[in-house]
Amino acid sequence: MTATIFVLNGPNLNLLGLREPEVYGSDTLNDIEDRVRARGKTLGFEIDFRQTNVEGQLVDWVQEARTKAKGLIINPAAYTHTSVALHDAIKAVGVPAIEVHLSNTYAREDFRHHSYVSPVAHGIVVGFGAYGYELALEGLARIVSKN
């Protein structure tokens, strides 16, 4: 049976390709999903790729990963800087998580420098644009293969 990796995306990422392309690039979320699925296939993973603008939905999906995924990649977007609930959910489920951001959050506004997710993530990928998702998948594959 093929192992599943959840790729979870937070608010406004459905607007990629339209929203501030100078910051987030011109790739759409569908473009990213296609590349992650292709890379996942070569690594032997099934990719469950999702997006929501609702914090509670992200928390539910993280909890679902506990029994349905070997690991998760999460771009919490703005919830990175506000969600103790995501922090607690990731910590509770016990599956390896990689936090990913398209832009270099540390080169942006001060409020983007703090993440509630980072302390409970196995790794963080920031500033590589859409390619960051593939980097996160590569890293997660190494972690999962050791478990």
| 82-97 tens-digit pLDDT | 999 999 999 999 999 9
* Per-residue pLDDT reduced to its tens digit, 51-94: 999 999 999 999 999 999 999 999 999 999 999 999 999 999 99
Residue 51: what residue type?
A: Q
- Which one is catalytic: 87, 101, 116, 133? 101
Q: For residue 26, what pLDDT is reported?
A: 73
Residue 83 lies in a domain: yes
Q: Considering the candidates 24, 79, 116, 133, report the single residue annotated as catalytic.
A: 24
Q: Is 51 left (phi over 0), alpha (psi -120 to 50) or beta?
A: beta
Question: Is 79 annotated in the active site?
Answer: no
- Looking at the DSSP bridge assignments, the partners of residue 124 are 99
pTM of the predicted protein model: 0.92
User: What's the total number of domains in the chain?
Assistant: 1
Give me the amino acid identity at 31.
D
3-state class of 7 per DSSP?
strand
User: Which residues form the domain of 54?
Assistant: 3-104+125-146
Active site annotation includes 113: no
* Of residues 3, 15, 35, the one with CA closest to residue 132: 35
- Identify whether 20 is part of a domain: yes
Within 8 A by CB and 6+ apart from 65, the residues are: 6, 71, 72, 93, 95
